[in-house]
Structures are given as structure tokens and as C-alpha cells.
Amino acid sequence: MRKKILAGLMAMLLFAGPLTLTITNTWGYALRQLFPQLVSQQTLESQLEGVTRLRQGQFALNYLGGNKEQNGIFLGSDGALMLDMQPRDQETSNRNLLGILDFLEDHQRPTYLMLIPTACAIRQSNVPYSEVAPLYDQRQMIDDIYRRVSGQVTTIDVYPTLFRNQNEYIYYNTENNLTGLGGYYVYSAAARRLGQTHPRGIEEFSVRHLDENYYGSLYLQAPYFNTVPDRVSTYTFSRYWRSYTVTKWDTDGGLRRYYTLYPQERQALAGAMGVLFGGESPITEISVGSGDTANNYNQNLLIFGDQSVFSYLPFLLVSYERVTVVDTRSATRELLSQLDVSQYNQVLFSYLVDQFLNQDQMRALSSLPRTDVEG
């Protein structure tokens, strides 16, 4: 009976596909919690490894058969997976843009817009052009949107900086996101536009590697054999003393609080990515204490964005007393109704291009309490 149940679970995982990467991820953890007597660690390792090999074999056969793009993901010549970013329609980006302009009208805060190109736009030399459909022109799309908000919103162009450094490890191989190094280059371009006259050098930050064999969400969807795993790292300002209080607002209204940017206890449950700023949540608020007495950082920054924010946030925090990040994909109207925009000196809208083009990011912003503007 026990073998039949386990076989059934493994068959379900095989057809579930994207959920079968490794025992350190959600399925392995869940199976051990639900069936501690049924599923031993050794058995689970063996079974999941077999399922992953089967799916890798399926992808390899399709790849050899000429299918170079699977599940909207292709394997670059350097072993990195890249999402083939294509817009579903024009209406979504139009709604997002109008949402930003409506926000500006309602709150009258200094507002900035930063659109971050995805890996396939920057790492073009590694794209298998002869086997995949033509890439979407992200450079042109960013320019068009920036022209439409010219004179109303301050735009931040990070494309040239990322393109110049495309041969460095600036995008994850198995996640649709920037690495910490990529985040630094974004920060270096954004800092001056945000009014920081002397951006910090990367040598002023200490680096710690959490995981050097990480496989992320793109690999879950497309487990090509030759994919190069990722290194997940943390960056911490080390030139002057800083203290941090990170408050996570969860969807159910609960609060989690950490006194570090990288709570290590999260790694056992949520993996290396779950350590970075305590993992995903609709709202993340960070208060900063400074030992740099020569500077008085009393500015507050509000960021509406996606998962890419946390790549450059360790660097941006250096110049602010408080930063609040709103994940507009998951923030509810109830949570947003508690957010006072008037407490912030600057507001940044920041998205990966695919997130801005294909997801309705601004649908709940109307729930923000309106800011009283002195006449």
C-alpha cells in the first residue's frame, strides 16, 4: 500500500512538471511534512531525482528535434535560460501607464519610472536567433513609454548600463530576474536620477554567498540538461554601520519583523531566495539606522514594483531612512488603504519589462488614501 501511494505521488509530480525540481523546494518539504512515516529522506531524493531526469529527457528529445524554445523559454549558448518576452496586447501596458499618471494626479509626489529590460534583450549574443521567433524590441518599447510620460514623470534609463556589462553575471541563469551584481548596475544608473550625487562603489559592500547551486523558476518550467545553476548572494553596506528593521505585511494582515536584511532562518523553509529581505510579501517596509554621522539621511522612498526591486535595494538603502516596497501583483486593496503616501519624499515605479507589459500592476492603487495637496 505504501509503495502504491508513493508511486501515485511521484506520477502526479511527473505530470505536474514544474513542481519537481529538488527536495529543497516546496514539494519535497510538503511531502515530508504530510507523510513523515511514508516518505523517507533517502526515498524522496531517489524518486524526485528520477522524475527530474525523465523531464530532462523529454526536453532533450524536443531540443534535438528542433524545438529550441519550450514553455516560452530558450536555452542560451552560455547555458542560461531566458524568457522569450512577447507582449500579449497593448492594453495592459496602457492601463499601467495611465495608472501611474492617475497616481501622480492624486498624490502630487516626485515620481519616477524605471523599466528594466529582461535577459534576452541584454544578452542578445547568446540568443539562438536561427531557432527562435524574432525577439521583441524592448529598447524601442522603453523609449516609447518614456516619451509618453516626458515632463510628468522622471524616467530612469538602465538599458545602456546593463548592455555595457552584459558579459558579467548580471542576470540569473534560471530565474527571470537580476542578480545582486545586476542590481548594483541598476542602482548606479538610478542613484543620480534620484538625487544621489555620489553613488556608492560596489567595494563598499560585503558579499556573502548563500547558495552556489541554485535552480530557479525558469528551470522548473524548462529543465534543459545543460543549464548552468545560479549563485545566490547577499550584499551588505560595510563602510559605515547600519541597523535595519524589516517589516513584512502579509496578505492575511499579519506582520513579520526581522532585524536584518537577510534572516538566515528562512533558508531551511524557503530556500536561498527566501532569505533575501525575508522573502516575498505584498508590502515590505525597511527602517534604517545610520552610523554615518557626517550625513543626515532623512528621506523616505516608496517603491511600487516586482521581484526585481530586491536586486538593487541593498544599495539604494544606503541613502534613505525608510524604504517601503509594494509588490503590486499581490498587494490587496485592504493593505493599500493603510498606506500613507504623504509620508514619502519620492515614489518610484520599477518593473521588469515583461511584468509591465503583461500584468495589470495598477489595478488596486485607487485604494490608496488620497494625499491632501496644499493649494
Q: Is-contact 246 278, C-beta < 8 A? A: yes
54: pLDDT strictly greater than 80: no
Is residue 73 helix, strand or coil? strand
Mean pLDDT of the chain: 85
Percent of the chain whose predicted confidence (pLDDT) is above 90: 65
Estimate the share of the chain in helix, then strand, then coil, as percent rounded to the nearest 5: 40, 20, 40
Instruction: Supply the pLDDT for residue 223.
Output: 87
What would the mean pLDDT of 353-369 be, rounded to a whole number?
Answer: 94
Q: Which residues contact 46 (CB under 8 A, 6 or more apart)?
A: none
CA pair distance 54, 48, nearest whole angstrom: 10
CA pair distance 253, 296, nearest whole angstrom: 33
DSSP type of residue 92: H
Range in 103-117, 194-208, 283-297 with the lowest mean pLDDT? 283-297
Rounded (10°) CA dihedral 86, 75, 224, 133: 40
What would the mean pLDDT of 248-252 be, rounded to a whole number?
Answer: 91
Instruction: Supply the pLDDT for residue 56.
Output: 64
For 268-281, the pLDDT digits (tens) are 989 999 999 999 99
DSSP line for 23-67: TTSHHHHHHHHH-TTT--HHHHHHHHHHHHHHHHHHHHHHHHTT-
What would the mean pLDDT of 89-97 be, rounded to a whole number?
Answer: 94
Range in 4-18, 177-191, 250-264 with the lowest mean pLDDT? 4-18
Instruction: Supply the pLDDT for residue 22.
Output: 42
CA pair distance 196, 180, nearest whole angstrom: 20
Greatest CA separation for the chain: 75
Instruction: Supply the pLDDT for residue 62.
Output: 60
